Structure 1
Amino acid sequence: MVEYKNQHGNTIVPQRYDEDPKLGIWVSKQRCLYKTDKLNPNRVDLLKSIDFEWNGAGKGIDNEKWMNMFQKLVEYKEQHKNTLVPQRYDEDPKLGRWVIRQRNYYRVDKLLPNRYALLKSIDFTGDTRGKVDYEKWTSMFQRLVEYKKEHKNTKVPQQYDEDPKLGMWVHTQRSNYQKDKLLPKRLVLLNSIDFT
C-alpha cells in the first residue's frame, strides 16, 4: 500500500486493480472492516499515518465504472503524454465522452474530492478551453512563420487558396488588433516577425 501511494500519490486503489489484484481486494477489505468498526486500532493508526482514503473514490458499480475509465485515461496519457482526449475519439468514443464529463464536473466544482485527487495525480487538464485555444493559435502562428519564410512578408490574402485557414486566421488577428482584442503575448509574437 505504501509503495502504491508513493507511485500514485494517493491510496485510492481500484477494487479490481490489474497490476496487483490482491492489493485491490485487501484495500476494499480494510474499508469494510473500518466501516463496521472491526479494524484493529493499531491498523487504523497505521493506515491513517499514510492518509488512507477510507471511502475510496465513490460507491459500488458507479465507482467501478469510473475507475475503469480512469485507468483508460492513464493508458492514454502514457501513450500520448497528455490527458487531452478529443471529445470525438475514434479509438475509444466512451473515453472521449467520459473525459468531457469530468471536465464539466471540474468547471462547476462538482468533482468528488477523491476523484479530483486521482485526476490531479496524472496532471489532468480540467479546463482545456485556454490551453486548446493557445495550442491552435500557436500552430497557426507557425504556419504564418513558414509563409513568411517562403514569401518574405506576412501579407497572407484573406482568401488564400493554398491554406484557407491561414488566410482567415491572419484576417482574424488583424481584426482583433484593430478592436484592441489581441492578447499582449500574441501581439509580441506577431511583432517579432514584423506582422503587417
Structure 2
Amino acid sequence: QFENLLKYKEHYNSMLVPNVWQEDRSLGLWVTKQRVKYGQFANIATNTGDHLRVLIAQAFNYTHHGQSKTGVTIEDIVYRILSLNDIGFVWDPLEEQWKEMYRRLVMFQKEHNSTLVP
C-alpha cells in the first residue's frame, strides 16, 4: 500500500486520502490504520534513538526480544513511521486542515487588511 500512497500523492499532490476512497478502498483503510496505530509516535519519530523504541515497546506490549507475537519488530515499526514521515504523511488531517485554513486567512488579511471574511 505504501507504493499506492506514493502514486496517490503524485496524482493528487496530497496525502489526505479519504477514509473511504471509491477508487481504492483498501488504500483509505490502510492510511487510517497507519494513523491509528502509529500516529502517537509520529511527532517523536525524529528521535530514532532508544527513547522511541522504548515507547513503542511499551505501547505494543513487546517482549524483551523486541518482537511481537505477529513477528513485527520494533525496528519494523520505527522504519514504517520514518518512511511515512519522509514522504510527508499527514498524521492528523484535522490539524492539517486547520493549518491550511489559517494560511488562507493570513493571505486574506494581507490582501484586505482585515480578517472579516464575507
State the TM-score, normalized to the length of structure 1. 0.30
Relative contact order (alpha carbons < 8 A, sep ≥ 6): 1 or 2 greater? 2
- Greater Cα radius of gyration, structure 1 or 2: 1
State the TM-score, normalized to the length of structure 2. 0.48
